[in-house]
């Protein structure tokens, strides 16, 4: 596998990870405030439809984006009404929102456009254009002639829609809001112990509504990116379970923003691999996975080393990434040395992973994580429980 | 003290919730689609109940929803939310195909017995892993069952592409089941009611009704059912009373998965007579709405299943008669029913409770109606006295 293929794979991983990331951060705000939200999927779908519909009719993608966000926030408020005001079951409310979105989008699309539940194809100003960073080339022929560093810049970093960069910026922003502002402290507290927040004289209801509305805005961005950035127009059920993968990524990331970025990139990567290779040989797949592990391990190692150098971390935190890096390197360098005649590689290559396995992998991984075999995921303590004020 | 009489809790509140859901659906039909909601309703009811043809489809869908509704309801009794009915039914479909394709059955009754056992076992097996993870490792059952739905969908595509295939055909379906596994349909055993031989309604309808009776017996007439309900009411109290939480979680989910799986008897062996990709068609999710609406009681589940059967068959007719209304309108109605009977339950309940409370306060004050129960009069008196 050559360098360019890996770059293209990383490029599409980033694209496919973006809607997951936005939805995942949306869920993070909501669940950190103690409101479980399995309606991420429905909100994304509604936003996807309304952004595409309004972007088409007004031929302005920004109006489409705003209407998409409004649609998603409306569903968020419905969720808030059911689960905060009327103290209903948050899971049931989420299920209802998913069905409502998947039914309403097609019903309205059929009424407005009569194209079998889709919107007309978007083009020009009705879509988010590729955003070429300064000094980058956009044509594949020019990119191929650049040096490796330039290729990384032009192929991987440049040429995404603006929403991809916004999504990447929202990660540090989320971290800052949650861990460095008063609002974030209260938001986290209301998900762990709402009674304490109430005793301090802060409105639990208001905080939770604020969290749910932030969740709506982010889901709106995710949905709009699906319909106007990733593809050109709305088709029925186009969110295709991404809301649930985002939920899986959220658990994978243990409800933390930076880890959410990592988890979404992993799931985006799996999606990209599944798209590129229909049936993939086990060896190729393992190579790719370990390459990913090496990359993530190296990045984490550097980040943690910087944190320790600034006196903010423990040396123990280095072990995880170091082990990942070691195992990854051992595999990618060690396997060819251990296996000079290629017998093992041939055996591994005889095992072909079906594409369905690749598609199911994010869900299987989530179940493994949830089972607590790879580090335990502990949700916010008051999650899912309606708060009843003492009288 | 009960805030409301039982009939209000069991009948009145679900009824009001449904009316609200139908009213909201009517608004969607009127304002968004621009059709007359009353005419739409008339077409739906007529399409579902107006002919033997309609009844055949309505009761066929009802059979599916009774199975999945009962499945979700049993889990509800143990306060477990099984969203995985869809996946459990998918996997059970593979069980039905195994039962019908691998062994040459001499008679359909034997084949039916095998399908009942295998669909139940496959459905239960698919529920077993989430159940185990919930019971032993505390993984949230809602998330794991959702994940298992997606895994089941992938598994199903794999199985239909690699295991059960039609040689020389690109169709993702298994070969047709042999004639000996054919279940008699309503056209054969109830032709006198006007059913044709092409009707999808078949004997598994009676199995669904039997399952409803069995669930009633299990939940309200056995020790296990008592333990399931006790566990659902208060986990800590149940544990204090010596009920094993791991055992109850496992058993409730296994029964739930088996019941959801058994819908494959009706849809796979009964109707299509081959394993197809989309035979579940959302029935697992409808089960949630049905169980919520039926208050997790088998009678309620059967009635709610009938209502949804009507919506599915009537909705198909409606999409035919009024092309502006697409079939997805059913999904909207389903969502609104789940919303009003499930999530917004308190919105209806709170005003009703205060209404009944004010009735009750008013009665002893006027002293017109003598109250049969002395305790209640005492409380009533106490309440009327204190403000003065």
Give the integer Cα–Cα distance in Å for B124 and B71.
10
Chain A nearest CA to B144, separation (Å): 6
Provide the pLDDT for residue B95.
Answer: 93
Provide the pLDDT for residue A373.
Answer: 62
Tokens of B231: 């566990």
Per the CB < 8 A criterion, the answer to whether B235 and B245 are in contact is: yes
Judged against a pLDDT cut of 90, whether residue B220 lies above it is answered with yes
Chain B nearest CA to A237, separation (Å): 11
Chain A nearest CA to B197, separation (Å): 33
Q: pLDDT tens digits for A227-278?
A: 998 888 898 888 888 898 898 888 878 888 988 998 898 888 888 887 777 6
- Percent of chain B residues past pLDDT 70, beyond the cut: 93
Q: pLDDT tens digits for B313-368?
A: 998 888 888 887 888 888 888 899 889 888 888 888 888 888 888 887 777 655 44
Which residues in chain B are contacts of A363 at CB distance < 8 A?
Answer: 147-148, 150-151
Which residues in chain B are contacts of A89 at CB distance < 8 A?
Answer: 81, 342-343
Q: Which residue has the tokens 């805005």?
A: A217
Provide the pLDDT for residue B300.
Answer: 92
Give the integer Cα–Cα distance in Å for A262 and B286.
35
Closest CA relative to residue B129, chosen from A63, A368, A260, A103: A368
Chain B nearest CA to A313, separation (Å): 30
Q: pLDDT tens digits for A62-92?
A: 999 999 999 999 999 999 999 988 888 888 8
Return the bridge partners of A280, or none.
A353
pLDDT higher at B128 or B377 = B128
Q: Give the mean pLDDT of A172-180.
A: 93
Do residue B155 and residue A356 have CB atoms under 8 angstroms apart? yes
Chain A nearest CA to B243, separation (Å): 24
Give the integer Cα–Cα distance in Å for A77 and A83.
10
Do residue A363 and residue B331 have CB atoms under 8 angstroms apart? no
Among B143, B281, B342, which would you mutate to test the A interface (most chain A Cβ atoms within 10 Å of its Cβ)? B143
- Residue A312 burial (CB count, 10 A): 9
Which residues in chain B are contacts of A241 at CB distance < 8 A?
Answer: 150
Which residues in chain B are contacts of A103 at CB distance < 8 A?
Answer: 328-335
Of A99, A241, A244, the CB nearest to B338: A99
Which residues in chain B are contacts of A360 at CB distance < 8 A?
Answer: 150-151, 154-155
Which residues in chain A are contacts of B141 at CB distance < 8 A?
Answer: none
Give the integer Cα–Cα distance in Å for B115 and B258.
12
Do residue B343 and residue A96 have CB atoms under 8 angstroms apart? yes
CA distances from B252 to A56, A168, A325, B220 (A): 50, 44, 44, 14
Chain A nearest CA to B214, separation (Å): 26
Among B335, B349, B352, which would you mutate to test the A interface (most chain A Cβ atoms within 10 Å of its Cβ)? B335
Tokens of A230: 């990733």
Span of A14-28, A196-210, A361-375, B325-339 with lowest mean pLDDT? A361-375
Provide the pLDDT for residue A376.
Answer: 61
Q: pLDDT tens digits for B5-32?
A: 888 877 888 888 888 998 998 898 888 8
pLDDT higher at B195 or B222 = B222
Which residues in chain A are contacts of B146 at CB distance < 8 A?
Answer: 38, 244, 247
Do residue B147 and residue A244 have CB atoms under 8 angstroms apart? yes
Give the integer Cα–Cα distance in Å for B293 and B309.
14
Give the integer Cα–Cα distance in Å for B71 and B255.
7
Tokens of B169: 């055909």
Chain B nearest CA to A45, separation (Å): 14
**Mean confidence (pLDDT) of chain B:** 86
CATH of the domain spanning A3-254, picked from 1.10.3470, 1.20.1630, 1.10.20, 3.30.70? 1.10.3470
Chain A nearest CA to B200, separation (Å): 26
Give the integer Cα–Cα distance in Å for B142 and A384.
12
Provide the pLDDT for residue B386.
Answer: 35
Which residues in chain A are contacts of B326 at CB distance < 8 A?
Answer: 106-107, 110, 117
Do residue A366 and residue B147 have CB atoms under 8 angstroms apart? yes
Per the CB < 8 A criterion, the answer to whether B71 and B256 are in contact is: yes
Do residue A354 and residue B158 have CB atoms under 8 angstroms apart? yes
Q: What is the DSSP letter of B342?
A: I
Which residues in chain B are contacts of A38 at CB distance < 8 A?
Answer: 142-143, 146
Do residue A367 and residue B32 have CB atoms under 8 angstroms apart? no
Closest CA relative to residue A111, chosen from B334, B41, B328: B328
Do residue A360 and residue B151 have CB atoms under 8 angstroms apart? yes
Provide the pLDDT for residue B1.
Answer: 46
Provide the pLDDT for residue A118.
Answer: 84
> pLDDT class for B46, splitting at 50, 70, 90?
very high
Judged against a pLDDT cut of 90, whether residue A51 lies above it is answered with yes
Per the CB < 8 A criterion, the answer to whether A63 and A245 are in contact is: no
Do residue B331 and residue A102 have CB atoms under 8 angstroms apart? yes
Q: Which residue has the tokens 């049993």?
A: B74
Q: pLDDT tens digits for B200-212?
A: 999 999 999 999 9
Provide the pLDDT for residue B379.
Answer: 42
* All structural domains of chain B with their residue ranges: 6-343
Do residue B28 and residue A104 have CB atoms under 8 angstroms apart? yes
Tokens of B174: 């298994």
**Mean confidence (pLDDT) of chain A:** 84
> pLDDT class for B384, splitting at 50, 70, 90?
very low
Searching chain A, which residue's CA lies closest to the CA of residue B132? A371
Count Cα atoms within 13 angstroms, Cβ side, for A350.
5
Provide the pLDDT for residue A335.
Answer: 66
Which residues in chain A are contacts of B334 at CB distance < 8 A?
Answer: 99, 103
Which residues in chain B are contacts of A364 at CB distance < 8 A?
Answer: 147, 151
Per the CB < 8 A criterion, the answer to whether A138 and A157 are in contact is: no
Do residue B343 and residue A93 have CB atoms under 8 angstroms apart? yes
Which residues in chain B are contacts of A91 at CB distance < 8 A?
Answer: 81, 83, 142
Closest CA relative to residue B262, chosen from B99, B134, B78: B99
Of A89, A110, A363, the CB nearest to B343: A89
Provide the pLDDT for residue B271.
Answer: 87
Do residue A111 and residue B343 have CB atoms under 8 angstroms apart? no
Which residues in chain B are contacts of A95 at CB distance < 8 A?
Answer: 83, 285, 288, 338, 342
Searching chain B, which residue's CA lies closest to the CA of residue A79? B343
Handedness of CA B365, B367, B368, B374 (dihedral sign): positive
Of B158, B338, B347, the CB nearest to A96: B338
Give the integer Cα–Cα distance in Å for B329 and B315.
7
Return the bridge partners of A130, or none.
A161
Task: Name residues whose C-beta falls within 8 Å of residue A113's C-beta, 6 or more positions apart in sequence.
Answer: A53, A119, A120
Q: What are the φ/ψ torsions at residue A161 (nearest 5 degrees)?
A: -75, 160
Provide the pLDDT for residue A340.
Answer: 62
Closest CA relative to residue A251, chosen from A19, A89, A37: A37
Q: pLDDT tens digits for B174-191?
A: 888 888 888 888 888 888
Of A103, A251, A357, the CB nearest to B335: A103
Q: Give the mean pLDDT of A185-201.
A: 90
How do A280-281 and A352-353 pair as beta strands?
antiparallel
Give the integer Cα–Cα distance in Å for A35 and A213.
11
Among A39, A41, A363, which would you mutate to test the B interface (most chain B Cβ atoms within 10 Å of its Cβ)? A363
Q: pLDDT tens digits for B279-314?
A: 888 899 899 889 988 889 999 999 999 999 998 999
The whole-model pTM stands at 0.85
Q: pLDDT tens digits for A109-160?
A: 888 888 877 888 888 788 887 777 777 776 767 777 777 777 777 777 777 8
Q: ∠ CA A212-A218-A221 to the nearest 5 degrees?
A: 145
Q: pLDDT tens digits for B110-149?
A: 999 999 999 999 999 999 999 999 888 878 888 889 889 9
A-B contacts (CB, under 8 Å): 153
Return the bridge partners of B98, or none.
none
Which residues in chain B are contacts of A97 at CB distance < 8 A?
Answer: 335, 339
Chain A nearest CA to B40, separation (Å): 15
Q: pLDDT tens digits for A355-383?
A: 888 888 878 887 887 777 655 667 788 87
Provide the pLDDT for residue B374.
Answer: 45
* All structural domains of chain A with their residue ranges: 3-254
**What is the topology classification, in CATH, of domain B6-343?**
ABC transporter involved in vitamin B12 uptake, BtuC (1.10.3470)
Do residue A111 and residue B338 have CB atoms under 8 angstroms apart? no
Task: Name residues whose C-beta falls within 8 Å of residue A175's C-beta, 6 or more positions apart in sequence.
Answer: A257, A258
């Amino acid at each position: 596998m050559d360098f360019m293929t890996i770059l293209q794979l990383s490029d599409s991983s980033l694209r496919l990870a973006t809607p997951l990331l936005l939805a995942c951060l949306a869920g993070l705000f909501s669940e950190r405030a103690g409101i479980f939200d399995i309606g991420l999927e429905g909100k994304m779908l509604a936003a996807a439809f309304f952004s595409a519909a309004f972007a088409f009719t007004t031929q302005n993608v920004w109006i489409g984006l705003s209407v998409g966000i409004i649609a998603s926030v409306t569903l968020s408020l419905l969720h808030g009404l059911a689960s905060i005001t009327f103290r209903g079951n948050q899971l049931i409310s989420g299920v209802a929102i998913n069905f409502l979105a998947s039914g309403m989008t097609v019903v309205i699309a059929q009424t407005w456009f009569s194209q079998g539940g889709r919107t007309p194809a978007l083009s020009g100003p009705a879509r988010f254009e590729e955003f070429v960073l300064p000094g980058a080339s956009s044509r594949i022929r020019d990119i191929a002639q650049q040096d490796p560093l330039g290729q990384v810049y032009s192929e991987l970093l440049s040429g995404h829609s603006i929403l991809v960069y916004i999504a990447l910026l929202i990660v540090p922003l989320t971290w800052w809001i949650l861990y460095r502002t008063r609002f974030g402290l209260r938001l986290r507290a209301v998900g762990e112990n709402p009674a304490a927040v109430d005793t301090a004289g802060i409105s639990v209801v208001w905080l939770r509504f604020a969290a749910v509305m932030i969740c709506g805005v982010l889901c709106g961005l995710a949905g709009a990116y699906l319909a106007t950035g990733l593809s050109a127009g709305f088709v029925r059920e186009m969110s295709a379970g991404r809301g649930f993968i985002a939920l899986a990524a959220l658990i994978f990331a243990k409800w933390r923003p930076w880890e959410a970025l990592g988890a979404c990139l992993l799931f985006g990567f799996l999606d990209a691999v599944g798209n590129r290779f229909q049936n993939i040989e086990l060896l190729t797949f393992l190579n790719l996975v370990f390459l990913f592990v090496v990359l993530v391990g190296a990045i984490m190692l550097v980040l943690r080393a910087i944190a320790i150098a600034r006196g903010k971390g423990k040396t123990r935190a280095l072990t995880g990434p170091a082990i990942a890096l070691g195992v990854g390197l051992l595999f990618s360098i060690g396997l060819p040395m251990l296996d000079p005649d290629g017998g093992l590689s041939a055996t591994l290559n005889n095992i072909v992973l079906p594409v369905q396995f690749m598609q199911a992998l994010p869900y299987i991984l989530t179940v493994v994580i949830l089972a607590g075999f790879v580090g335990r995921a502990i949700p916010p303590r008051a999650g899912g429980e309606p708060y009843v004020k003492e009288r | 003290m009960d805030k409301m009489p039982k009939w209000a809790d069991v009948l009145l509140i679900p009824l009001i919730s449904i009316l609200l859901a139908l009213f909201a659906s009517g608004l969607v039909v009127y304002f968004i689609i621009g059709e007359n909601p009353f005419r739409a309703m008339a077409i739906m009811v007529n399409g579902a109940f107006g002919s033997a043809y309609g009844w055949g489809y309505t009761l066929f869908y009802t059979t599916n929803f009774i199975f999945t509704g009962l499945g979700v309801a049993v889990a509800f009794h143990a306060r477990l939310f099984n969203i995985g009915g869809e996946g459990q039914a998918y996997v059970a479909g593979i069980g039905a195909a195994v039962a019908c394709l691998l062994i040459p059955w001499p008679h359909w009754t034997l084949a039916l017995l095998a399908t009942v056992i295998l669909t139940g076992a496959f459905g239960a097996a698919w529920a077993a892993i989430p159940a185990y993870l919930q019971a032993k490792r505390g993984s949230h059952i809602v998330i794991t069952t959702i994940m298992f739905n997606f895994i089941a969908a992938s598994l199903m595509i794999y199985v239909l592409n690699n295991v059960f295939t039609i040689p020389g055909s690109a169709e993702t379906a298994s070969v047709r089941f042999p004639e000996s596994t054919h279940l008699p349909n309503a056209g054969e055993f109830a032709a006198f009611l006007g059913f044709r031989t092409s009707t999808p309604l078949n004997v598994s309808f009676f199995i669904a009704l039997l399952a409803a009776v069995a669930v009633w017996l299990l939940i309200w007439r056995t020790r296990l059912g008592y333990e399931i309900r006790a566990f659902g009411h208060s986990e800590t109290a149940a544990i204090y009373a010596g009920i094993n939480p791991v055992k109850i979680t496992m058993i409730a989910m296994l029964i739930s998965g088996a019941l959801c799986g058994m819908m494959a008897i009706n849809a796979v062996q009964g109707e299509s007579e081959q394993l197809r990709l989309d035979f579940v068609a959302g029935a697992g999710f409808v089960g949630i709405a049905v169980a919520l609406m039926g208050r997790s009681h088998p009678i309620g589940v059967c009635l709610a299943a009938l209502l949804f059967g009507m919506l599915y068959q009537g909705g198909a007719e409606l999409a035919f008669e009024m092309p502006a209304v697409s079939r997805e309108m059913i999904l909207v109605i389903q969502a609104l029913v789940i919303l009003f009977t499930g999530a917004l339950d308190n919105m209806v309940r709170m005003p009703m409770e205060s209404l009944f409370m004010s009735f009750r306060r008013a009665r002893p004050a006027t002293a017109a109606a003598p109250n049969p129960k002395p305790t209640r009069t005492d409380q009533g008196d106490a309440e009327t006295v204190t403000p003065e």
